[in-house]
Every structure is written in structure tokens, then in C-alpha cells.
Amino acid sequence: MSNKPTNKIQDLQYFGEFGGVNPSISDSATYTFLHAKTMLDTFEGHAEGCYLYSRHSSPSNLYLSEALAAMEFTETANVAASGMGAITSVFLQMCGAGDHIISGRTIYGGTYAFMKNFAPKFNISTSFVDITSLEKVEAAITPNTKMIYCELESNPLLEIANLPELAKIAKKHHIKLVVDNTFTPLIFSAQKLGADVTIHSLTKFINGTNDTVGGVVCGSQEFIDSLRNVNDGAAMLLGPVMDSLRAASILKNLRTLHIRMKKHSENALYLADNFEKDGLKIVYPGLKSHKDHELFKSMYNKEYGFGGIMTVDVGTLEKANELMELMQNENLGYLAVSLGFYKTLFSAPGTSTSSEIPVDEQKKMGLSNGIVRMSVGLDNDIERTYRAMRKCMKQVGVL
Ligand code: PLP
């Protein structure tokens, strides 16, 4: 079996019903049974290859799930209607009243808001810690801790989690390590680095076309079965189900992910490197100046590079807004949240994707108002883009 994530995706062979080169799209919410007994067996999870109802599973969703499990080297996976649908199902499956989560403090604002504001309704508490400090992580563990949660590359500070060391801590204390790998698909194989469960928002790089939201949970057969259990599975009972038509289209896009990731990484490295040489305050894990550069290199699948996300700190929110508006007017990208698009996307995280995090906490974690996060696009001529962006930087006075 292949040891490379892209090969593993490509080794999967599915034919459509009539020999199509893409699997047929399942267009049914419910499924017939020739024998009543098989229906009962399917309810109880003992009828391999049979489908019951599309909130539980459907052929199209299984094709996509299997491809994502292959990519993440996990036994299986379950796709969801959004990244948040995947994340919240995992939290609510793993934790009950009285349980405790340790989470990285620099994470996507929606995930932060769920743990901080919503999970307490179920008496689930969270300690937000600096995930790059292994001592702080271990010190936060209580007898009720059920999981350590982190983003492998954090949003938006681009800190890198030391997964092998976090996995050791998790194992020692018999708790699970749950990792959001949204920023770095293919680049990191989280399960190989010690994660128990790997989550993605498919909305970003994996789908890459910004036409839908989607999510996935990759893990052991046992855990994914528990998520889908008809009696007490969070995915089954909360119902964040992806539609089959979307699953089919995301699967087709997944097949070009390796080419796109290489190009995103190549372009981001070029911009980061040149803007740093120009004297700008750049954070990008591909730069030697990034504090986790060596750690990144010790964990990554080299051929996909250092990813497509970089940040530039231009000092103030006013300057950040001015720069983003100008770059949009010059057609260098879009002033929009999200990432992984063919076009560069930029936003100021403090007032957008991280706005759920209170301002004093943003300050503590080093999230300044002048930070612009860029998801670097697939520009064919990045030198031309660099020159045009540089002109904008000069025009607003940050260069
Ligand atoms: N995880 C990360 C790292 C994200 O950036 C996001 C969205 O921005 C999510 C999860 C949530 O995903 P979705 O918007 O697909 O629900």
C-alpha cells in the first residue's frame, strides 16, 4: 500500500453504475430492502453494503469519506455538511456533562465560540492554553479531561502544534488528541503524527472552489461507527449531513488537491520571502524566521510545501483595511473570509474570523489589529502579482 497521501487517493477505483469514470451520484433519501430482516440488521449496523436512510449514510458520501480516510491514513471517515458540523459532532460525541476539553487558544473563532459559549450549556468546560507550550498543556489536564484539541497550523497566528509530543501527553493520560488539519491538507498526515481523530473543513483547500461548505471527521472504525450510531451517535442525531450531490462534486475536486497545494505553497513562499526581504512583518512557516519552521519541517510531507496561508502585520486596522480594499480594486484578490480559493483571499482576522475571541484575549495571544491574513491563490505569474501588491503596499504607506 502506498505511503503517500495523494497516491492513496488515486489508488481508489470506483466505476459508475454504467461504467462511468466517476461513481454514480446517489439521489435517494431512503432505500428499499428485498427482505425485512435485512432492514433490521442494517438498523443494528450489521448489514455490510446496505443503505438505510441518507442521514445515516449514502453511497456518494461514503465514496468521499473513503477518499478522505485514505488521504488521512485513518480506517474510515464521515463527511458532514460543514466543518463546524464535523467539529461539534466530535465534541458532543466525546464529551458529556462534567467533562473537560483542553484546546489551543489560537483557533478558528467559530470553534472557540462553541467551546466558550455553547458547550457550557451541557456542562462541558474548556481550558484554552498556548498549545505550543507542552508544560501548559499537561498542567491543564484534570481527571475529567476527555480530549486535547488543536489546529495543526493555527488560525490565524500560524503556530504549529507539536503533534508527536502532544500525542505522548494524550496517551499518558488516556485522553484523545483531536486535530483540525484544515489549513494543511496533504502537507501533514495528522494520524501518522499521533492524532486520534482528524477533522477538516472541506470548505477550504480540499474543495477549493468556494461553492459549498463541508466537513469531515477521519478516525477509527469504532469512533466513526459511534458517531453514526442510530441510538446515540452525534452525527446521526444532530443531523449535519452533507448532500450527495455536493459529496460527488467535492470528490472530483479532491483529485486535483495535490497540484493545487503545491501551487498555493509555491506562490505563498514566493510572496512571503520577498515581502520579508522588503522589510515587512511576515509570518509564514516556510520562512526561517518563523518560530516553528524546524518543527514544521520535522513533520511535513515535503512535496506539498509550507501551505498557502501567510500573514502580514501592517500596524493598524485602518492601514489593513486600506490595503485590502486597494488590492481588491487592483484585482489582486478578494476581501473575503475563507481560504483555499484560486484567487487570493484576504481578511483582517481580528475583526472577522477571530472576532468571537474577546479583544483582551486576542491581545494576549499576539493577535494584532493590523494583521492581514492572506490565502494565496493559484496565480500563474506570481512575480507579476508580487510587483502589483508591492505597488499597493507603497501606495498605502506600509512600504
Ligand atoms: N476549522 C478551521 C481551521 C476554519 O478556518 C474553519 C472555517 O473558517 C472551520 C474549521 C469551520 O468550517 P466551516 O466553515 O466549513 O463550518
Report d(CA 29, CA 178) in Å as an integer: 31
Please give the pLDDT value at position 354.
Answer: 76
Please give the pLDDT value at position 311.
Answer: 97
Q: For the chain, what is the radius of gyration of the CA atoms?
A: 21
Within the chain, strands assigned E span 76-80, 100-104, 125-129, 145-151, 176-180, 197-201, 215-219, 281-283, 309-313, 334-335, 345-347, 371-375
Determine the straight-line distance between the first and last CA of the chain, rounded to whole angstroms.
Answer: 50
Report d(CA 259, CA 183) in Å as an integer: 16
Residue in the structure block whose three cell numbers are 485513518? 74
Question: Tell me: the pLDDT tens digits for 80-118?
Answer: 999 999 999 999 999 999 999 999 998 999 999 999 999
Is residue 108 within 8 Å of residue 156, measured between CB atoms?
Answer: no
Residue in the structure block whose three cell numbers are 501592517? 314
**Confidence class for position 1, pLDDT limits 50, 70, 90:** low
pLDDT: is 12 or 361 the higher one? 12
- Is 213 a pocket residue for ligand 1 (Cβ < 6 Å)? yes
Count, residues in the chain:
399
CATH class of 5-254: alpha beta
Q: Which residues, in sequence order, are CB contacts of 260 under 8 Å at separation 6+?
A: 205, 208, 340, 378
17-24 long-range contacts, Cβ below 8 Å, gap at least 24? 22/248, 22/251, 22/252, 23/59, 23/60, 23/63, 23/248, 23/251, 24/59
Mean pLDDT, range 59-64, rounded to an integer: 96
Within 294-367, strands assigned E span 309-313, 334-335, 345-347
Report d(CA 42, CA 51) in Å as an integer: 7
pLDDT: is 44 or 39 the higher one? 39
CATH superfamily of 258-395: Aspartate Aminotransferase, domain 1 (3.90.1150.10)
Question: Tell me: the pLDDT tens digits for 256-270?
Answer: 999 999 999 999 999
Helix (H) or strand (E) holding 86: helix 83-94
Tell me, what amino acid is at 117? N
Question: Tell me: the pLDDT tens digits for 11-31?
Answer: 999 899 899 999 999 999 999
**Confidence class for position 365, pLDDT limits 50, 70, 90:** confident
Q: What is the largest CA-CA distance in the chain?
A: 73
Atom of ligand 1 nearest to the CA of 202: 15
- Is 99 a pocket residue for ligand 1 (Cβ < 6 Å)? no
- Is 82 a pocket residue for ligand 1 (Cβ < 6 Å)? yes
Q: What residues does each domain of the chain span?
A: 5-254, 258-395
Question: Residue 47 C-alpha to ligand 1 middle, in angstroms?
Answer: 34
Question: Residue 87 C-alpha to ligand 1 middle, in angstroms?
Answer: 9
Q: Is the peptide bond before 185 cis (omega within 30 degrees of 0)?
A: no
Atom of ligand 1 nearest to the CA of 213: 15
Q: Which of 268, 236, 225 is nearest to 377 (CA)?
A: 268
Please give the pLDDT value at position 256.
Answer: 98
Is residue 151 within 8 Å of residue 182, measured between CB atoms?
Answer: yes
Residue 196, number of CB atoms within 10 A of its CB: 21
Atom of ligand 1 nearest to the CA of 111: 10
- Is 315 a pocket residue for ligand 1 (Cβ < 6 Å)? no
**Confidence class for position 353, pLDDT limits 50, 70, 90:** confident
**Confidence class for position 356, pLDDT limits 50, 70, 90:** confident
Query: Which residue's CA is the nearest one to ligand 1's atom 2?
Result: 108
Is residue 166 within 8 Å of residue 193, measured between CB atoms?
Answer: no
Residue 97, number of CB atoms within 10 A of its CB: 7
| Exposed / middle / buried, residue 238 (Cβ in 10 Å: 0-12, 13-18, 19+) | middle
User: Does residue 211 carry a pLDDT above 90?
Assistant: yes
- Is 108 a pocket residue for ligand 1 (Cβ < 6 Å)? yes
Is residue 163 within 8 Å of residue 179, measured between CB atoms?
Answer: yes
